[in-house]
Structure 1
Amino acid sequence: MNVLSPSRAFYGLRHGATDWNREGRFQGRTDNPLNADGITQAHAAAEMLRSVGISRIVTSPLVRAAKTAEIIAAAISAPLTIDNGIIECDFGSFEGLSVRATMEKHGVRSAEGLTSILPADGEAWDVVTERSLACVSGWLERHPDEHILFVCHDAVMQALARSLCGSFFQNRHGTPFCYVPLREGWHVEEVRY
């Protein structure tokens, strides 16, 4: 098992949607705000998380994640901290480009396949994975009795899932997931309350 593997279960949430998400663009570090749908998704996520017992929220500094986290924190009365360790992948020269057109251009058929064609002027996939695991593991170690929600981005959540579970999963905006350690490995499950 990875040395940086988290010690216990934790929650992850992809921020609410932005206009670039709806347009199917690589967003990366471009600091776009939530759109109206994204704000609605953040409020819906807060309602879903009310009965989970989240005691701390850690968020990416990008405004789309931070605003999502603020809405949830206010609704469930949990402290909120910003951590650069779960900021979105820097997609370099892919930022703003159509994801679908880029996949077609490079002959990639799945989102997971994108990890092999990231541009040299962006962030390497193994770096995204390493920093995300280190961030999550660090918070879990420092707060062993707390249920922690990480409000972040698709690439961060997928990097965690691929490292812990071996593959990507179907991630949706504003949908909370729990990363659960099992005897034979990890599992990502949608939170339904």
Structure 2
Amino acid sequence: MALPSRSFLCLRHGTTDWNRQGRFQGRTDNLLNTDGIAQARAAASRLAGVPVGVIVASPLRRAVQTAEIVGAALSLPVAIDAGIIECDFGSLEGQSIRDTMRKHALTALEQLVSILPADGEPWAAVSARALGCIATLQNRHQGAEILFVCHDAVMQAIAQVLCGSFFENRYGTPFRFAREGDGWTVHEIGQFGQM
């Protein structure tokens, strides 16, 4: 598996109606709702003090919308890359996350990876393609601070491989995956680029 060579930024898209309803969204191509647009604008404010050089978004509209709002604020174009598209949840698409957890007696969101359906994307494939995408783009844009605008499952898969666990991710909140020696940490970026 290809791994990133240096630190990078990730931003989960703003909310959609399906997010608010607690449904598996995966590859279903929903738009941001009004809260999601406000979250994208807030993310742009948080990133104002960060020297972002490249913005890359998942091709799903909720990620593209979020990236375009941030890109407009930072005067940067948005590139699209399917390597960071959300996990395909197969037959779970559109289902209630809470009901699915109850049905399978799961107590933590990270346990969902153990019951992903065979007609969806394998969990290991999510991290492999996302990390490969990041590594490739870092090689292409040497020295540039890259912001990847993507999805929760993608960011959790990355965190699991690099940091060893899931983390508390929120809509429209930028994080830095920071390489520290041989290890990695993930930190929220606060107001005006502060960590």
Give deviations 1:49-87, integer Å, cap 9, x for gaps: 011010110000000000000000011011210000000
Structure 2 partner of 1:32: 30
Structure 2 partner of 1:85: 83
Structure 2 partner of 1:145: 143
Does structure 2 retain, via aligned residues, the 8 Å contact 1:179–1:188?
Answer: yes
Give deviations 1:65-117, integer Å, cap 9, x for gaps: 00000000011011210000000000000000110110111121111111111
Letter in 1 for 2:125: V
TM-score by length of 1: 0.97
Tell me which moved more, 128-137 or 183-192.
Answer: 183-192
Aligned counterparts, 1:30-179, within 5 A: 30-179=28-177
Does structure 2 retain, via aligned residues, the 8 Å contact 1:55–1:79?
Answer: no
SS in structure 1 opposite 2:137?
helix
Q: Distance in 2 between matches of 1:48 and 1:101?
A: 34
Letter in 1 for 2:58: S
Tell me which moved more, 177-186 or 151-160.
Answer: 177-186
Letter in 2 for 1:150: F
Q: Distance in 2 between matches of 1:95 and 1:8?
A: 34
CA RMSD of the aligned region, Å?
0.8
What percentage of aligned pairs have identical amino acids?
60
SS in structure 2 opposite 1:170?
coil
Letter in 1 for 2:4: P
Q: Which runs of 4+ in 1 moved over 2 A?
A: none
Structure 2: which 5+ residue stretches go unaligned? Answer: none
Give deviations 1:1-35, integer Å, cap 9, x for gaps: xx411100000000000000001000000001000
Residue 20 of structure 2, aligned match among 22, 40, 50: 22
What's the CA shift for 1:183? 2.1
